[in-house]
Structure 1
Amino acid sequence: MKNKIAILGCGWLGFPLARTLIADGCNINGSTTSEEKLKKLETAGIQPFLIRLSEEGIEGEVQPFLTDVDALIINVPPKLRGGNRENYVKKMQLLHDSIETSTVKKIIFVSSTSVYGDMGGEVTEKTVPEPVTESGKQLVVSEDIFRNNNNLKATIIRFGGLIGPDRHPVRMLSGRTDIAKGNAPVNLIHKNDCIEIIRKILIKNWWNETFNGVYPNHPTKREYYTSKAIEKGLQVPHFDTTASKKGKTVSSYHLKTRGFEFTTAI
């Protein structure tokens, strides 16, 4: 794979993704919002760009970042917790407008299974999203900004909860009590599989698609986080299991039909 790829957001997922694609023979433009990280990107063989998105505009050399790239990976999650009410849709619209004046024709937009809201039972990519959080609502609108542009080949990936060696939600849940929805299934994915899904999209040219990215094992929250707390030597969290609603199980149906195999257990 000898492509030039731009990754908007070279953080927890984007940085190892960039290194993997470089090993595949790609040239990578990578963005960060931190001046301190520019040297880290450069040392890893990534062409670094300082780019910051806001509702008012895009700060940084966005056009050089997009120049002559074969595909752009948008890996910028909404940051709407803790009372933050930024207009993520506006930021994505501004980014879209910059893409329109560039040579970019292929987009991978990293979204989230939060777009499915509080549905019950199995959901697939054919399920119509019903987001309940502000983040989920803005992600749905943002997906369509790129999907509805007929000049772009846009593929959407809706990842489940992201985990890795240095990131696991059990650490935040340890010792807590009466955590809701203890009987609901988990919908998680390891960083390694996230990277491999993106690689496959680029290699196999899976464009104009929507993929759920969730590991195909869904124990209940109580079962899973109790086990992980014991495994990591942490205080076991306590879950409320009285709720009758079972929660959603997110199926990566479209990946399965293409023969994708998840390799890293949650």
Structure 2
Amino acid sequence: MNRTVAIMGCGWLGLPLAKALLKDGFMVRGTTTSESKLEMLQNEGIVPFLISLSEEKIDGDISSFLINTEVLVINVPPKLRNGNKGNYVKKIQLLLESVKVAKTKKVIFVSSTSVYGNIEGEVTEETIPQPSTESGKQLLAAENLFADTPELRTTIIRFGGLIGRDRHPVAILSGRKGLTNGNTVINLIHLEDCIGIIKATIGNEWWGELFNGVYPFHPTKKEYYTNEALKRGLVIPEYSSSGIPSGKKIESRRLIHVKKFRFNTPF
């Protein structure tokens, strides 16, 4: 059995994922867009590649990165905030063409719950996405590029807001006043559970699937971030709105009820 996993994007999620897969006996290839990170990746035991996606071409040795790969993990966010008008779909289309040439069959596409937009109420994998941001719209289009390619066995994982030991929204929100949407519920997931879902997908051969990846805990933002600030000794963020819980509540229905996946890391 080929035990090679190629991770496109060894950043905040991709690097610890690569380390976890190495511990499980996989050979791991990983990309970075920064030459200064190549040595660090190599020192971790990852076969490093300097690869950058643009709308016109792929810079770097994408063929060697993909050749004889059992699983490709695509972990490349659109990065379209703050007025950035880039064409993420074009970049992903170029990557798809390279994947076809390399004859890689198993793909995990790391996506986001932002594709659901501003839907109210319970959201499951059966909910039709209604993206409201340019990033969400392009991410959904990119998902479909891979999902609609019949020769690939693509699993899409839509993660909620990512948090971890060194990354928690309360650090930014602490002390802020007049925050809105305090009555909307949270949809978060810890880094360790992200890694667990990806590892379970590979290990259990969960291909051709669509999963929501959100921890099953949905207090309001006001309730949650107030408690988190108190736990950390931070100044409590102040919300101008309150009331009954609202917004979208994203359920990881297929993972929990169909695949019997257990989320292990509360936050």
TM-score (norm 1): 0.97
| Per-residue deviation, residues 125-144 of structure 1 (Å, max 9, x unmatched) | 00000010111111110000
| Per-residue deviation, residues 34-58 of structure 1 (Å, max 9, x unmatched) | 1111011100100000000111111
Partners in 2 of 1:245 and 1:166 — Cα distance?
28
Greater shift after overlay, 238-247 or 202-211? 238-247
Counterpart amino acid of residue 178 in structure 1: G
Task: Kindly report which structure 2 residues correspond to 1:35-184, keeping only aligned pairs within 5 A, or say none.
Answer: 35-184=35-184
**Aligned match of 2:234:** 234
Divergent runs of 4+, >4 A: 242-245
Contact 1:124 1:251 in 2 (8 A): yes
Counterpart amino acid of residue 210 in structure 2: T
Partners in 2 of 1:81 and 1:128 — Cα distance?
23
Identity %: 55
Partners in 2 of 1:109 and 1:35 — Cα distance?
24
1:103 Cα deviation after fit: 2.1
**Secondary structure, counterpart of 2:102 in structure 1:** coil
Counterpart amino acid of residue 46 in structure 2: I
Q: Does 1:29 align with 2:29?
A: yes
**Aligned match of 2:262:** 261
Partners in 1 of 2:146 and 2:218 — Cα distance?
31
| Per-residue deviation, residues 139-194 of structure 1 (Å, max 9, x unmatched) | 11000000000000000000000000000011111111222211111000000000
Partners in 1 of 2:164 and 2:203 — Cα distance?
24
Contact 1:187 1:218 in 2 (8 A): yes
Greater shift after overlay, 242-251 or 152-161? 242-251
Partners in 1 of 2:245 and 2:90 — Cα distance?
35
Counterpart amino acid of residue 150 in structure 1: P
1:240 Cα deviation after fit: 2.7
1:13 Cα deviation after fit: 0.6
**Gaps (5+ residues) in structure 1?**
none
**Secondary structure, counterpart of 1:31 in structure 2:** strand
Counterpart amino acid of residue 144 in structure 2: D
Contact 1:2 1:27 in 2 (8 A): no
- Output the aligned Cα RMSD: 1.2
Counterpart amino acid of residue 255 in structure 1: L
Partners in 1 of 2:215 and 2:125 — Cα distance?
15
Greater shift after overlay, 44-53 or 175-184? 175-184
1:243 Cα deviation after fit: 7.2
Partners in 1 of 2:34 and 2:106 — Cα distance?
26
1:241 Cα deviation after fit: 2.0
TM-score (norm 2): 0.97
Counterpart amino acid of residue 198 in structure 2: I
**Aligned match of 1:13:** 13
Counterpart amino acid of residue 12 in structure 1: W
